[in-house]
Each structure stands twice: as structure tokens, then as C-alpha cells.
Amino acid sequence: MISKSCISTGKLALILTLVGQWMLLASGNVVPPDLRGTSEAPLIGLYEENGKVAILTVSNFNNTVLRQNRSVLVEFYNAFCGHCQRYAPYYKALAERLYPWRETLLVAAIDCNAFENTGICRDYEIFAYPTLRYFSPGYMYKEGNYGQGNTPLFDIDELASNMAQSVAAENGTANLPNFPNFQSVSMDDVKNTLFSGLDSNKKYVILTYEPENTTIGLECILQFHLWPDVQVRRVTDLNVANIFQIDGVHYKIATVDRQSNVVPYSVKQDTALEYFATIQSFLEAQNFKPRSFETKATTDLGSAHNDNHAIISEVLRNKHLVYQADLEMAIRQMLFNEIPKVNKIQSEQLLALQSMLHVLQNYHPLGPKGGKVIRRLNEFVLNANGTLSGANIQNELEKLNKTLGPIFSSNNFVGCVASQQNKRGYTCSLWTLFHYLTIQAERLDISRDPLEVLRAIHGYVKFFFGCTHCSEHFQEMAVRRKIWHVSSKAEAALWLWEAHNEVNNRLAGDETEDPKFPKIQFPSESSCSQCRKADAISSSSKSTINWDRDAVLHFLINIHNPGYVSRYGTDNESVLQPSAEKLSQKRMTYNVFSEMDMGMGMLLYVFCIVMMVVAFKLFTLKGYRKKTYVRDVIGKV
């Protein structure tokens, strides 16, 4: 599921490292080396922008899938999902295999991890990744009809056969222009000649014998549908096949021209690829070429390439930091993508959502605005009348973010940056956030419930996390590691640390691993030498490391201290709580102004005293002159 690099205690002069990885469940199916080719083309999600897989987004989904004169196979996937990453080479190989079918069947994919695609994935009720859906020609969206589900098979031949059957089932069910003729050749076709009803450009009819319980004939029809000079037909009746010198043992393909000349061909094996090669050789010998036909899903995808070299260099120089950007990206993905993708949130899911929002309200790493948004969202969910929808959550969040936001200081990963596309990222940041929450619960005296955070994490991973296999593995691990027996908040933090190390140990060396950020047991010896006891065996495997759990807990508390969280890579620090440095500067400024205020006050006091004395002196030194009254004058007279 996740990856991690962590922080240093700068003022304590300790060099600390927390390296972790993402929780992506290892699959038993290993991608064959010949399917692992690298491409210089920019990726959109897991697929090349100009590759054979048509890339769908919210802007082109309806125009590509609805009301079409062709079928569409769509993979709904999640770019950070390890199982999806392992399946991508197979799906690319399938798209390559079925590319000649593109007028009849388009192979496409949509990334449900992209924020803009959240509504599409919610509308089609995608509960697991990857999910394959087959959409018939003329498909119209309506609730309850979300296409035909298909298992994401690793056997390309089997999946191609399934698709051939699905497309053939459309034959005769709709008036589709240029749709292939999948009907098997009958005796009536022989009597009326095979060229009856064909345009004059068709120079040959190619007959393919389809052995029982195979779809070879159907696949050949689709494979060469774009060749204007020929029409491929299938023959399932051996009696009909014998008319064209096909015996079903040695000769299994025959070409027929307009003069009824028949030439039989043999194939070495009853496989679609062997049939393709035989027919292809004949067509090339005739200098025939397929007509061009482009049916790409068109949209302005933009550039998916980001230059992360500067960030990677910075992170590699400072491997010991927890980054604010990563904590925010985890919350952003949770609230604005994963939770809104769920169509109906009720019962256990609703309780899990309330639990996670309660924990985020208590221990989130956001600023005042972010805290207010989470509190208001929590109130909104608590007041829900039994059932919510992902759309309700999305609308409320957009409203709150518009009126109270912005709430995020960054829009990119820093400590969870990847050196290769679709490595690390969200899964890494989610581990980072989970660790941060367990540590804040230990540091702060808000709740006495030791399972407060672990319960929220378990519920979120079970009901909302976008990697299905990762979720199943986490739930199994929770039972095996007795998550519900944790008796203190300190033990909760250590339980998550041990679980994370188990995932790292399992995925070390996996193809989903980022080469620049290997999955190791953290903390490493160089990061926290005191975390490993003196008799610890030097090894990257947890089973051979004798951990000092008290030292590990101290290490985790130090590196997740909010005062040490790095703000490198943030774009808008004004939305966050003031940093320790700024608070210190503010205190210094306050002290300076306080001293100045006292000085000015004393000076003003002295000045006032002096002015009063001066006024008194001026008044008393001035001569006193008695006023003469009239009675005094009369009296003298």
C-alpha cells in the first residue's frame, strides 16, 4: 500500500530517517519479460498517450462509449494500485493484439485516481480495481446497466477469445454499418456463391475452419476486417468445409476467388496466431493492404510529464524529513477522490467515514481553514439521515472549499515524490498521514480510546481505499496481528509501524518499487542506531532485527512532531498554522514593542509632570492686581 521517508530532529542534532513504502499487494502473476518494454512516450496514468489503449477521461468518455457503432472494452483502474500496475503490461499487450479489431472493438482505459474522473467511476459503480467492462454497440447509460463485467485475465489468448464471443453475440442484434459477418458458411451460401451480396472490391473469400470449442474463426474475421480486398468467413460444418478442400486435419484454411478457384492452406497449430500468420502471408503475397481507420478517444490530455529532478535531489539530501505537502496530498486524495467515488455510503461504510473524519478533526495537520472545513464536513456527515452518496460528499466539499478555502498549501508530492511515473505518490503519503495521526493521538490528550486512530484507518482501508488487493491484505494482516487487542495509544503507533515494515519486507524488490527509494525496514540503522539493540543482526529483514521498541516510539514521536514537519515545496504557507520560526519572530517583535511602549510611557509621564510644573510657575510668578469696585471709590469720597 505505501512508501515513506521521514524527518530529522534538527534542534536535537539527531540525524533521523524514516523510510517506508506503499502497500501494494504482491500478485502471484509475474509480468513476463517480453511484456515489460519501456516507452519514451509520455504516460497518462498507466498508459502511453499515443499507445494502442485509448485513454478516456470525463471529457471524452460519453462520446467514446455511448451510442457508438462499435463495442468498447474499458478498463477502470487506479494508477497507484499495485495490482493495476502489474496488469497494465497485459492490457497493453491485449490492446496491441486487438488493434486490428478497432473498427469493431475499441480497447480503452480510464484512471479513477484522477480527480476529474471521480464522477464517472462513481456512476458506473466501480468497487474494485482493475475492473473490465464490455459495452455493446449503441450502449446507453442507465442506472443498473453498467456494461458487461469481465475478469481481468492474465491470459491474453483467453481474454481475446472472450472478446470475440462478446462481439459476435452482437451480430444481427443491431443495424450496424460495416459490421463483420460472423455467420458460419452454410450449404445455402455455397449454392448462392460466396460472393453473393459482396461489393466488387472483394477479390477473395478466405474460409477458416473453426475447431469445436474455439473462437479461431471469429478472431480471424475480426483480425482482417479492415482489408478491403478480402472477406474472411468461418466454417464450422466439416461437410461444408470439405467442399473447399478443407479436411479439418491438415488443411484448415482456403482461399476462393471469383472464378471459384480454391487453394487450401495448412496450419501447424490450432491457434489464432497461427491462422493469422498464414492468412497474412497470403495477403502480402497479393500486395493487399488494410484500409486506414483511426478511432482514438480524442481529448486534450495535456502533458503528464513533470520534472521532479529538483524535488528528488532535495529529498535524497534530506531523507529524514516528513513533508507537509505529502500529508496534504493524502487528505486531498481521501476527501476529494476516494470517498466521493462511492455511490452509496451507508451502514458500516458510513460509520467508517464518521470515524475517519472524527480522527482528522482531532489530529489533522492543516491550518485553521482546513480544520474548519473538516469540522463542517464531519457535522454534515453526522447529520446524514442513514445514507449518503459520494456525490453528496463531493458537492459539500466543493461548497466548503469555495466559501472557507483554500485549505491546502501544496498540490504536489515532495517526500513521496517518484523517480518513475506511478511509483510511490498517494500510497506513500497515506502511510505518512496514518503514522502522523497515531503519533498525534499519543502526543495529545484528546481521547483515551487506544483504538481511536487504528479503527479509523482500518475502516477507511476496508471501505474506501482504491487498491482492492491492498485493502484485502491489510484486513488479513489486521486480524493476524490482532489489531483489536491494542491496549494503549503508544502501542497503536507501534502496531502501525510494525505493520508498515511487514508490507515493506514483502514488497522489497517488487516491480512496483521505485529504484531511488527502495523499500527497507525503518528506521534504518544510520537514522536511529539506538532503535536496534546491540545484538541485532545486520539485515534488512524485520525477522532478524531486534528492535528497541521504546527507542522506536521516541524516534517516531520526534520525526512526526508538527514543529519539525518540513514545508519545503509548499506554495501557500499562509493557509497553515504559523511555523515555529515565525512564532519566535513574532514573540521577539512583541518583546521589542513592549520595551518601546514602556519607555515611551515613562517619557510621556515625565513630560506631563514637567508641563504641569511649568504651568504652575507661570501662574504664580505673574503679579496679583486687586480689582477696584465702585463702593470703594464712594467710601473714600
User: Does 409 lie in the same domain as 492?
Assistant: yes
User: Does 281 lie in the same domain as 151?
Assistant: no
Residue 64 vs residue 387, higher pLDDT: 64
pLDDT at residue 29 greater than cutoff 60: no
Q: What is the pLDDT of residues 445-476, one digit of tens each?
A: 899 999 999 999 999 999 999 888 889 999 99
Q: What is the pLDDT of residues 275-301, one digit of tens each?
A: 999 999 999 999 999 988 776 555 544
CA atoms within 13 A on the CB side of 516: 19
Residue 97 CA to residue 103 CA, distance in Å, equals 14
Neighbours of 482 (CB within 10 A): 9
User: Does 527 lie in the same domain as 384?
Assistant: yes
> Would you say residue 104 lies in a domain?
yes
pLDDT at residue 19 greater than cutoff 60: no
> Would you say residue 341 lies in a domain?
yes
Bridging pattern class, strands 344-346 and 262-266: unpaired
94 exposure class (CB count in 10 Å sphere: 0-12, 13-18, 19+): buried
Cell 505537502 identifies what position? 325
Q: What is the pLDDT of residues 324-354, one digit of tens each?
A: 999 999 999 999 999 999 989 999 999 999 9
The whole-number pLDDT of residue 552 equals: 94
The whole-number pLDDT of residue 598 equals: 62
> Would you say residue 101 lies in a domain?
yes
User: Does 386 lie in the same domain as 454?
Assistant: yes
Percent of the chain residues topping a pLDDT of 70? 82
Q: Which three cell numbers stand for residue 484?
A: 483489536
The whole-number pLDDT of residue 105 equals: 94
Tell me what the mean pLDDT of segment 300-315 comes to.
Answer: 66
User: Does 196 lie in the same domain as 139?
Assistant: no
The whole-number pLDDT of residue 172 equals: 62
Annotate 583-609 with b (16+ C-beta within 10 A) or e (fewer): eeeeeeeeeeeeeeeeeeeeeeeeeee
> Would you say residue 570 lies in a domain?
no
Helical H runs in 364-425?
A: 368-382, 390-404
Tell me what the mean pLDDT of segment 420-440 comes to.
Answer: 92
Residue at a domain's end among 220, 250, 285: 285
Q: Please check whether residue 187 is in contact with residue 240, taking contact to mean a CB–CB distance below 8 angstroms.
A: yes
pLDDT at residue 10 greater than cutoff 60: no
> Would you say residue 7 lies in a domain?
no
Tell me what the mean pLDDT of segment 414-432 comes to.
Answer: 90
User: Does 516 lie in the same domain as 411?
Assistant: yes
Residue 64 CA to residue 442 CA, distance in Å, equals 51
Give the model's confidence band at 359: pLDDT under 50 very low, under 70 low, under 90 confident, else very high.
very high
The whole-number pLDDT of residue 297 equals: 59
Residue 13 vs residue 377, higher pLDDT: 377
The full length of the chain comes to 637
> Would you say residue 394 lies in a domain?
yes
Q: 611: Cβ–Cβ under 8 A, 6 or more apart, which residues? A: none
Phi, psi of 107 (to 5 degrees): -100, 120
Taking Cα atoms as reference points, which of 136, 117, 137 lies closest to residue 59? Answer: 117
The whole-number pLDDT of residue 274 equals: 94
Residue 132 CA to residue 124 CA, distance in Å, equals 11
Residue 270 CA to residue 275 CA, distance in Å, equals 8
Among 156-165, 286-295, 297-306, the range of highest mean pLDDT = 156-165
Give the model's confidence band at 30: pLDDT under 50 very low, under 70 low, under 90 confident, else very high.
very low
Residue 579 CA to residue 592 CA, distance in Å, equals 20
Tell me what the mean pLDDT of segment 316-326 comes to.
Answer: 85
The whole-number pLDDT of residue 622 equals: 52
Taking Cα atoms as reference points, which of 439, 502, 515 lies closest to residue 474? Answer: 502
CA 216 and chain centroid, separation: 38
Q: Please check whether residue 237 is in contact with residue 207, taking contact to mean a CB–CB distance below 8 angstroms.
A: no
Q: Which three cell numbers stand for residue 446?
A: 484528546
The whole-number pLDDT of residue 304 equals: 40
Residue 478 CA to residue 472 CA, distance in Å, equals 10
Tell me what the mean pLDDT of segment 520-549 comes to.
Answer: 76
CATH of the domain at 194: 3.40.30.10
User: Does 191 lie in the same domain as 164?
Assistant: no
Encode 535-597 in three state secondary structure. CCCCCCCHHHCCECHHHHHHHHHHHCCHHHCECCCCCCHHHCCCCHHHHHHHHHHHHHHHHHH
Q: Is 117 helix (H, G, I), strand (E, B) or coil?
A: helix
Residue at a domain's end among 285, 317, 345: 285
Q: What is the pLDDT of residues 206-260, one digit of tens each?
A: 999 999 999 999 999 999 999 999 999 999 999 999 999 999 899 999 999 999 8
Give the model's confidence band at 14: pLDDT under 50 very low, under 70 low, under 90 confident, else very high.
very low
361 exposure class (CB count in 10 Å sphere: 0-12, 13-18, 19+): middle
The whole-number pLDDT of residue 607 equals: 72
Q: 621: Cβ–Cβ under 8 A, 6 or more apart, which residues? A: none
Q: Which three cell numbers stand for residue 495?
A: 502496531
Q: What is the pLDDT of residues 467-500, one digit of tens each?
A: 888 899 999 999 999 999 999 999 999 999 999 9
Residue at a domain's end among 253, 285, 317: 285
Residue 452 CA to residue 363 CA, distance in Å, equals 11
User: Does 266 lie in the same domain as 196?
Assistant: yes
Q: Which three cell numbers stand for residue 347?
A: 451502514
> Would you say residue 492 lies in a domain?
yes
The DSSP H or E segment spanning 329 is: helix 324-333
Phi, psi of 189 (to 5 degrees): -60, -40
The whole-number pLDDT of residue 99 equals: 95
**Degrees to nearest 5, angle at CA 297 with 296 and 303:** 105
Q: What is the pLDDT of residues 614-624, one digit of tens each?
A: 776 666 655 54
Give the mean pLDDT of the chain: 83
Q: Which three cell numbers stand for residue 604?
A: 510621556
DSSP-assigned letter for residue 420:
S
User: Does 343 lie in the same domain as 432?
Assistant: yes
Tell me what the mean pLDDT of segment 183-204 comes to.
Answer: 87
User: Does 255 lie in the same domain as 320?
Assistant: no
Residue 257 CA to residue 261 CA, distance in Å, equals 5
Residue 53 CA to residue 636 CA, distance in Å, equals 130
- Into how many domains does the chain fold? 3
User: Does 474 lie in the same domain as 374?
Assistant: yes
Tell me what the mean pLDDT of segment 50-64 comes to.
Answer: 94
The whole-number pLDDT of residue 392 equals: 92
The whole-number pLDDT of residue 57 equals: 95
User: Concatenated DSSP letters for 149-191?
Assistant: EE---S-HHHHHHHHHHHHHTTTTTS--TT----PBP-HHHHH
On the question of a cis peptide bond just before residue 130, with omega within 30 degrees of 0, the verdict is yes
DSSP-assigned letter for residue 340:
G
Q: What is the pLDDT of residues 585-635, one digit of tens each?
A: 444 444 444 555 666 667 777 777 877 777 766 666 555 444 444 444 444
User: Does 280 lie in the same domain as 162?
Assistant: no
Q: Please check whether residue 283 is in contact with residue 224, taking contact to mean a CB–CB distance below 8 angstroms.
A: yes
Q: 609: Cβ–Cβ under 8 A, 6 or more apart, which residues? A: none
pLDDT at residue 5 greater than cutoff 50: no
- Angle between helix axes 426-443 and 324-333 (nearest 10 degrees) is 110
Q: Please check whether residue 257 is in contact with residue 225, taking contact to mean a CB–CB distance below 8 angstroms.
A: no
Q: What is the pLDDT of residues 60-114, one digit of tens each?
A: 999 999 999 899 999 999 999 988 999 999 999 999 999 999 999 999 999 999 9
pLDDT at residue 385 greater than cutoff 90: no
Residue 155 vs residue 537, higher pLDDT: 155
Q: What is the pLDDT of residues 551-580, one digit of tens each?
A: 999 999 999 999 889 999 888 888 898 865
Residue 187 CA to residue 189 CA, distance in Å, equals 5
Taking Cα atoms as reference points, which of 244, 223, 241, 245 lies closest to residue 232? Answer: 223
- Domain range enclosing 96: 43-168
> Would you say residue 536 lies in a domain?
yes
